[in-house]
Amino acid sequence: MDGKPALYIFETCTNLNRTLPALQHDTHRPEDLDSDGEDHCADALRYGCMSRPWAAVAPVATKPKDSWTRAFDREDGSGGNSWKTA
C-alpha cells in the first residue's frame, strides 16, 4: 500500500489486546488458529476484516472527445462562448 498501517487496534480493545499476542496456530491447519484457547476476539476481528476487503480503485478510462464536443464543452473551461447569450 502506501506505507501506512492497514489496521489500527485501539488500546480500549482490552480483550483483543490481551488475547491476540497469546494465540497459537493450529498444528493440523497452519493457516488457522487453535480453537482450544480464547479466540473469540480474534474471530470477531477476522470476520470484521473479511466483511470489508480492501480493493484498489481501478482508474476510469475516459474516451477522448472529438473536436465538436471539445468546442462546446463547459466543464473544462476551454469551450467557446455560450450559445445561450446574445
Residue 36 domain-assigned?
yes
Question: Which residue do the cell numbers 478510462 mark?
Answer: 61
Any domain includes 85? no
Whether 83 is in a domain gets the answer no
Q: Which residues pair with 25 in a beta bridge?
A: 33
* Number of domains within the chain: 1
Q: Is the pLDDT confidence value at 82 over 70?
A: no
Q: Which residues contact 35 (CB under 8 A, 6 or more apart)?
A: 26
Sign of CA pseudo-dihedral 72, 77, 78, 84: positive
* Predicted local confidence at residue 84, as pLDDT: 60
Q: Is 41 a member of any domain?
A: yes
Looking at the domain assignment, is residue 19 inside a domain? yes
Domain extent, residue 8, equals: 1-77
Asked if residue 20 is part of any domain, the answer here is yes
Residue 9: its pLDDT value, please?
93
| Digit-coded pLDDT (tens) for 42-77 | 889 989 999 988 788 888 888 877 777 777 766 655
